[in-house]
Amino acid sequence: QSTRHQPLGQILLDKGYVDPGRLDDSLVRQIKEALFSALAWRQGTFAYYPGELPPPAATHLQERVDHLLLEGMVYLDSLASP
């Protein structure tokens, strides 16, 4: 099977280099870091496209949006505290 155009995480799983649970934890952490970084922006735009679905290989978070936003605000407050 060709590994061409497969996500790195899938290749690592297929070769047995990483445990599925650890990969999931790492992906969730990366997604949260990206969200928290976006929450820190002072300017920017946001676009919502109704009906548009994520690509099949996209990682889905099973988290409530309000919890993610609260966690993001706590994270940003911790960065601002001396």
Q: Are 20 and 13 in contact (CB under 8 A)?
A: yes
Supply 59's token pair.
Answer: 């990682």
CA angle 80, 78, 81 (to 5 degrees): 40
Q: Can you give the pLDDT at residue 1?
A: 54
Share of the chain above pLDDT 70, in %: 95
Single-letter code of the amino acid located at 80:
A
pLDDT bracket for residue 23 (50, 70, 90): very high
Cα(2)–Cα(7) distance, integer angstroms: 12
pLDDT at 72 over 80: yes
pLDDT at 58 over 80: no
Q: Can you give the pLDDT at residue 3?
A: 47
Q: Can you give the pLDDT at residue 71?
A: 95
pLDDT at 5 over 90: no
